[in-house]
Amino acid sequence: MAKYFITTPIYYVNARPHVGHMYTAVAADVMARHYRNQGSEVLLSTGVDENSQKNVEAAEKAGIPIQKYVDQMAQVWKESFDGIQITYDTFIRTTSKEHETAVHAMVDAMQARGDIYLGDYQGYYCVGCEEFIAEKDLSEGKCTIHKTEPKVIQEKNYFFKLTKYRDALLAWYKNSPDAVRPESARNKMLSYITDEMQDISISRQAGKWGIRFPQDDSHAVYVWFDALINYLTVTGYPSQGYEKMWPADLHLIGKDIIKFHCAIWPAMLMSAELPLPNTIFAHGFFTINGEKISKSLGDAIDPRDLLKDYPLDAIRYYLLREIPFGNDGDFSVVRLKERFNSELANGIGNLVSRTLTLVEKNCPNIAFVKGQSLDVSSHIEHLAFDKALTDIWHEIARLDGVIDEKKPWELAKAGKSDELETVLQSVLAGIANISHELEALLPETAESIQGLLSASPIKKPAEPLFARKD
């Protein structure tokens, strides 16, 4: 059996999930559902990063112990992803014993290669990014993302010999054209690896929260170094058998974290002599009023609020179709409503309703065979979700056109029952095929349509698949 291992990033738990997190999770869920339908053994991994200093600060602000805080918030995130029906196979928490074991094994493997050394660090550190920042990347002395002044840190840390792997990384990029996508992320990382990459600090001497550094518990493992290893943890690494699912077939990430995933992570794997992931895909940002969605800036949209007004599949449809995956785009509730009414209510909802009304009235026991005229697998496998949905909606328009042209109500009135059944069989076959192609993209809609088509006798829907919104 073929395998397919897909990951989302793991998320800080200093606030609730917002629609940007849902975007990544939905895309990963589409891929997982698709490959399960293809017969592959799928591992979809998501989860939370609990070893962040941001989480410590959030716990202090809430006035509760850090472990109690991350326990509570991890459950919030898990329930949120369950609420949007993400079909993850494992939900990792980086405070788990299994993850600590994997991190220690990774450090040990890299130390055995002579790739870790003790050195001095001084520089700017943004707590919001959990990252050291070069002075040239500040804007008026502030982090460009969080709009805050970074801390100046000077301490003795353990370092990873990242520069040792510069040539190997460049060779990987050259020999694996699909390793980092899209092209914009690939080009940015090639520039970074060639011109800017330096050895990186992988511990924090001042850190009191987090995984202790092997053989030196006066240091905590740097949160980003620890977080990347989660992708190995969920395979069972370092226990025997982790190779069944490793390497990852697809890491889905936001483009703000490409340096960690597309340069540091593959170099870590090279150091530990482990296979590299097949593809790392960096999607774009949703913005609101031109600003990146940010929990810290208070402009995040909670999926729970959207679900009060729209069914889950409507939100999935908007997220997957509005912006080509990999591009930036502005999130708009106005656009969500427009697409809902024009493409869901007036599109697929109306097609199903008008067709089944005609069938129920004229030939409820009609027999039909699902057609084979539509296949969007290639689009999904290339993460072109918008193209997959565009093709499906072209088919919806075509079937509506068949009904408008053939006028089955006039055929019924004229007593042309054979011709009437032929037309309706053709449209029903097309709808059945559409429902099949929607199984990974809009699973609730696909299930609803298939339930209607499998009924005997066939009846029109008791209520619309998507009721228009005024």
Q: Where are the domains of the chain?
A: 3-292, 333-454
Residue 283 has pLDDT above 70, yes or no: yes
Residue 271 has pLDDT above 80, yes or no: yes
Kindly report the three-state secondary structure assignment for every residue of the chain: CCEEEEEEEEEECCCCCCHHHHHHHHHHHHHHHHHHHCCCEEEEEEEEECCCHHHHHHHHHHCCCHHHHHHHHHHHHHHHHHHCCCCCCEEEECCCHHHHHHHHHHHHHHHHCCCEEEEEEEEEEECCCCEEECHHHCECCECCCCCCCCEEEEEEEEEECHHHHHHHHHHHHHHCCCCEECHHHHHHHHHHHHHCCCCEECEECCCCCCCEECCEEEEEECHHHHHHCHHHHCCCCCCCCHHHCCCCCEEEEEHHHHHHHHHHHHHHHHHCCCCCCCCEEEECCEEECCEECCCCCCCCCCHHHHHHHCCHHHHHHHHHHHCCECECEECCHHHHHHHHHHHHHHHHHHHHHHHHHHHHHHCCCCCCCCCCCCCCHHHHHCCCHHHHHHHHHHHHHHHHHHHHHHCHHHHHHCCCHHHHHHHHHHHHHHHHHHHHHCCCCCHHHHHHHHHHHHCCCCCCCCCCCCCCCC
Residue 206 has pLDDT above 90, yes or no: no
Residue 158 has pLDDT above 90, yes or no: yes
| pLDDT tens profile 99-142 | 999 999 999 999 999 999 999 877 787 877 777 777 777 888 88
Q: Is residue 3 annotated as a catalytic residue, yes or no?
A: no
- Which segment, 18-27, 264-273, 326-335, is predicted with the most confidence on average? 264-273
Predicted confidence at residue 299, as pLDDT, reads 60
Question: For 198, how many CA atoms within 13 A lie in the half-sphere containing its CB?
Answer: 7
Annotated catalytic residue: which of 21, 54, 436, 460?
21
Annotated catalytic residue: which of 34, 259, 295, 460?
295
Q: Is residue 262 annotated as a catalytic residue, yes or no?
A: no
Least confident of 65-74, 132-141, 258-267, 269-278: 132-141
In this structure, which amino acid lies at residue 404? D
Least confident of 161-165, 202-206, 212-216: 202-206
Q: Is residue 126 annotated as a catalytic residue, yes or no?
A: yes
Predicted confidence at residue 373, as pLDDT, reads 74
Annotated catalytic residue: which of 142, 292, 370, 382?
292
Residue 295 has pLDDT above 60, yes or no: no
The mean pLDDT of the chain is 93
Annotated catalytic residue: which of 54, 104, 143, 379?
143
At residue 292 the predicted structure's pLDDT band, cuts being 50, 70 and 90, is low
Q: Is residue 406 annotated as a catalytic residue, yes or no?
A: no
Give percent of the chain above pLDDT 90: 80
CATH fold group of domain 333-454: Isoleucyl-tRNA Synthetase; Domain 1 (1.10.730)
Annotated catalytic residue: which of 129, 219, 251, 436?
129
At residue 293 the predicted structure's pLDDT band, cuts being 50, 70 and 90, is low
Q: Is residue 146 annotated as a catalytic residue, yes or no?
A: yes
Q: Which CATH architecture has domain 3-292?
A: 3-Layer(aba) Sandwich (3.40)
Residue 152 has pLDDT above 60, yes or no: yes
Annotated catalytic residue: which of 34, 99, 104, 126?
126
Q: Is residue 129 annotated as a catalytic residue, yes or no?
A: yes
Q: Is residue 363 annotated as a catalytic residue, yes or no?
A: no
Q: Is residue 370 annotated as a catalytic residue, yes or no?
A: no
**In this predicted model, which residue has the larger pLDDT, 90 or 136?**
90
